[in-house]
Amino acid sequence: MTDTWPDIAPAAGTPACGPPSFAPERGWWVTRHADVRTALTDPAFRVPVVDSGPPGTLAWLRASVSRFSSPPRHAERRSMVVTALAALDPDELRQEAARLTVAVLDRAGDRVDVMRELARSVPLRVLAGRLGIADPVAAGTAVAVVAAAYHPGVDVAVLRRADRAVATLLAVVPPAAPEVRANLIGLLVQACDATAGLIGAAAHHLLPLPGGDPSGAGRTAELLTEVLRLDPPVRATRRVTVSAVRLGGRDLPAGSQVLLRFDAANRDPTVFAEPAALRPGRPGAALLTFGAGERGCPGDRHALALATGVLDVLRERCRRIEAPLCHEPHPTLSVAKTLEVSVR
C-alpha cells in the first residue's frame, strides 16, 4: 500500500489561473478561485435563459427545472429538489450503490467496463428507486437520453429522442404537480453525467494497474474529493452578465457570455498549496466543482455517497487495464467513454 499518490496533471485544454480573459469566439473565461466564487454568487451573473416548449417535451422540462430558472422562480423550484433530496440518507445510498456494484461484479466475467456497467447505471438506479420512481432501470436509460440533450446546442434528432425520453419518464414519476415532477426528473438528469464522470475519473486515478501496489492509502470519500478538484467531471459552468460589472480587475459589459472554469480555479496556487498533488483530507478544501451559493449543487453529499459506494468495491476487487482514455464530446462535462478493469 502506498502512502502518497502521483500528482494529477491538468487535462488538455485547462487554462492557467489569471485575470478574466476575453476572446470574441468564446467570450469571457474566469479562471481564478476568488473570481469564480464571486461570479457564482453575484446577482449580476445569471444562468443563461432557455426557451420553453409544449408540456411534456424536453424544452418544457428545461424551462421548468430549477437549474435553468431565473431568480423569480429559482428559489421555489430549488426547494422542490431540496425537499426530495432531504428524504434520502446518503449513508444508505452508499450502501445500496456498493450492493449493486458487488452484484454487477459477481455476474461479470474477468473484465468489466466501469462506465457502461456501473458509472452510468448504478447511481441512477439507486436514486430513482429511492425517489419512488416506478421502473428505476427504464428511468435510468431515459435519463441518459435526456442528459445528452439537456444543454443547448444539440441537433434535432437528439432533441426528438429526448422528447420521447421525457414522456417515458413522466410515465414512471410519482403523481404530483407538473413542476414538482419536472424537478424530480431534473434532479436525476443533473445527477447522471456528473456522477458517472466522477466514478470514471476516480477509477482511472485510484485503481492500481496490474503489478502495481494493491491500492493507495486513504478513505475513499477523501480521495474522491481530491479527484473532484483535480479532474472535475463538471469542468465549467456558464453565466451571462445582466449589467456591466467589474470582476478580477476587468470590466465586463452587460450581456457578456462568461465561462467559469472550475478546472482552472481548483488548481489556483493561492488557495491550494502544491495544487497538482492529490492529498486526501486537504485542510480547508475549497473545491468549486459543486458550484457555490444559492445555485450550488444540492446533491453534493448524495453524489459523493453514491460514488464512494461504487469505488469502495472497485478498490477492493478491481485493477485498471492500461488503455488510452477517451472522453465523450461535451463542452463542459468530462465523462470517460469506456474504462475497462479486471475483476477478482
State the pairing for strand pair 27-30/257-261: parallel
198 binds ligand HEM (CB under 6 A): yes
Q: Say if residues 70 and 295 touch (Cβ distance below 8 Å).
A: no
SS3 112: strand
Which positions ≥6 away from 273 have C-beta within 8 Å? none
Residue number, 35 or 319, with CB nearest to ligand HEM: 35
Does 67 bind ligand HEM (CB under 6 A)? Our answer is: yes
Q: Does residue 309 interact with ligand HEM by CB under 6 A? A: no
* Residue of the chain from 229, 265, 290, 335 that contacts ligand HEM (CB under 6 A): 290
Single residue of 205, 302, 315, 320 touching ligand HEM by CB under 6 A: 302
* Min dist. Cβ of residue 344 to ligand HEM (A): 27
Residues 220-279 that bind ligand HEM (CB under 6 A): 233-234, 237
265's grid cell = 480555479
CA distance 311 to 92: 15
Q: Report the nearest approach of ligand HEM to the CB of residue 73 (Å).
A: 10
> Which one of residues 114, 165, 169, 194 is an interface residue with ligand HEM (CB under 6 A)?
194
- By CB under 6 A, name the one of 64, 220, 225, 289 that touches ligand HEM: 289
- Nearest Cα to Cα of residue 112 among 311, 309, 307, 318: 318
Q: C-alpha grid cell for residue 54? A: 409544449
Closest CA to 306 of 120, 75, 50: 120
The residue number whose beta carbon is nearest to ligand HEM equals 299
Which candidate, 299, 300, 312, places its Cα nearest to that of 97?
A: 312
If the CB atoms of residues 307 and 319 are measured against ligand HEM, the closer one turns out to be 307
Report the nearest approach of ligand HEM to the CB of residue 80 (Å): 9
CB 195 within 8 A of CB 303: yes
Footprint on residues 96-135 left by ligand HEM (CB under 6 A): 127
Query: Could you say which of 66, 121, 256, 332 contacts ligand HEM (CB under 6 A)?
Result: 66
d(CA 158, CA 312): 35
User: Please, which of residues 316-335 interact with ligand HEM by CB under 6 A?
Assistant: none
Query: Taking a C-beta distance cutoff of 8 angstroms, is the pair 307, 224 a contact?
Result: yes
Binding site for ligand HEM (CB under 6 A): 47, 66-67, 78, 81, 85, 127, 186-187, 190-191, 194-195, 198, 233-234, 237, 289-291, 295, 297-299, 302-303
